[in-house]
Structure formats: structure tokens, C-alpha cells
A and B are shown apart, each in its own frame.
Chain A
């Protein structure tokens, strides 16, 4: 079974631009979560989607948004990019909804560099 895939793997943007990252979960998984990983802040939760609905959101500004499609694929958008948005963005999928015992499976991440 294919794992979580993320595209693109690497991205370079300039300040003020916007960017869209894509995530395809493991087949059959309906929950998709997004995380930002930086050396200074570590792994921080962005948001989680299930059945096209955002059910949980971390403490990030409104410039960070996402959506999920009917096939469970998810996109994340960052508008008006800032230098501090440079990070590895990780997507994770899981099988069931709301179960704290459920395991998240991570993709390889998208490395975003903002110049």
C-alpha cells in the first residue's frame, strides 16, 4: 500500500507570495493533519481535516489555511509569505476519526524556503 505522498518536495518562494502544498493520504485514510517543523519551534500542529471538514486548528495566523477534498486529498495554503514561514511542512494521515489511539502516518514533507 502506498504511503502518504506530498508534493512538491521542495519549494522556493519570495516574501509576499502565496503557496499551495498538496498531500495524498494512504488509501482508505480519511483524516489528514498538517504540521510545521522548524529548528526553533519543533513540530507544531496546524490543522486536521476529516470528511472535508476542519475539526481542529493550532495557533497559527489566518494566512495558513487548508481544505480537504472528497477523495481525502488535502491542500494547505499559505498567503503573504514571511521569512519565518520557511519550514518543513509535514502531512499525516490516519484511518479513523477522533480516536486518540489511532496512529498517524507521515509523508516525507515539503521543504519550503522563503527568500
Chain B
């Protein structure tokens, strides 16, 4: 079945550092890929998405490119801020009605 693998956290970075959170997936066909963010005490918010190979999703300085050849969708940001501290989930939607498969989440802590 479908699966998503994310790098283990927590990730601790200094403000203005470069961020990469790795995500790889296994799916049949051509899934859509998503990054969601969860702030403490809140639900998930869509950060960005890509629906086909070589698409780049971007939002709030975050970017991720759909790489079919490596089945990856790594999240990057050039300069993180303290306000980016949250848990980040990689997810895919590939089969079945609205069945989204999530990774385990990566906690990011940004220190001033």
C-alpha cells in the first residue's frame, strides 16, 4: 500500500539557517503530494502541494519539488524563523476517495 517516510526529528536550527526535511514515498500510479504544518494545539494546515512530476509547490518561503525518479518531495526553506517552529507532515493522496497517507511528522524547533 501507499506509504510516506519522513526524516526523524526533532530538528533544531538557529534562526536564518537553511532547512531541509526529507520525504520519500511509495505509491502506485501518480499521487498528489502535500506538506502540512501543525502548530501546538492546532489542527493541520496545508503548507504546499504538487500534483504531478516536476511540479514545485511553494508558500511562505517554503518549497518542495515532486521528484518522480527519486520518489521524493523534500521540504526546503532558505532562512527559517522562530515562528516556523512546528511539526511538519509529508502526505500523499493516491488512491481511494480522499484517503490521505501521512508521514510520521518532523518536529522543527528554531532558536533565536
Binding site for B on A (CB under 8 A): 4, 6, 31, 33, 35, 42-43, 45, 48, 50, 55-56, 58, 90, 92, 94, 97-98, 100-109
Q: Is the CB of A45 within 8 A of B44?
A: no
Main secondary structure of the interface of A (DSSP, over half): strand
Q: Please name all residues of chain B whose beta carbon is closer than 8 Å to the beta carbon of A42 when the two chains form the complex.
A: 102-105
Write the nearest CB–CB distance from B6 to chain A, whole angstroms.
Answer: 10
Instruction: Mark each residue of chain B from 35 to 55: 1 if its CB lies under 8 Å from any CB of chain A, else 0.
Output: 010000111111001010000
Chain A residue with minimal CB distance to B46? A103
On whether A101 and B51 interact (CB within 8 A), knowing A42-B105, A90-B43, A106-B44, the answer reads yes
Write the nearest CB–CB distance from A49 to chain B, whole angstroms.
Answer: 9
Q: Does B109 contact A (CB under 8 A)?
A: no
Q: Does B101 contact A (CB under 8 A)?
A: yes
Q: Is the CB of A100 within 8 A of B94?
A: yes
Q: Is the CB of B97 within 8 A of A55?
A: yes
Write the nearest CB–CB distance from A31 to chain B, whole angstroms.
Answer: 5
Q: How large is the interface on B (under 10, 10 to 19, 20 to 34, 35 or more residues)?
A: 20 to 34
Q: Does B58 contact A (CB under 8 A)?
A: no
Q: Please name all residues of chain A whose beta carbon is closer than 8 Å to the beta carbon of B100 when the two chains form the complex.
A: 33, 45, 92, 104
Total inter-chain residue pairs, C-beta < 8 Å: 68
Q: Is the CB of B45 within 8 A of A100?
A: no
Which of chain B's residues 78-112 have a Cβ closer than 8 Å to chain A? 89, 93-105
Q: Is the CB of B97 within 8 A of A98?
A: yes
Q: Please name all residues of chain A whose beta carbon is closer than 8 Å to the beta carbon of B20 when the two chains form the complex.
A: none
On whether A48 and B42 interact (CB within 8 A), knowing A42-B105, A103-B49, the answer reads no
Write the nearest CB–CB distance from A58 to chain B, whole angstroms.
Answer: 8
CA distance A45 to B97 in the complex (A): 12
Write the nearest CB–CB distance from B83 to chain A, whole angstroms.
Answer: 19
CA distance A49 to B32 in the complex (A): 20
On whether A50 and B44 interact (CB within 8 A), knowing A43-B89, A43-B102, A100-B31, the answer reads no
CA distance A46 to B86 in the complex (A): 24
Q: Please name all residues of chain B whose beta carbon is closer than 8 Å to the beta carbon of A103 when the two chains form the complex.
A: 34, 46, 49
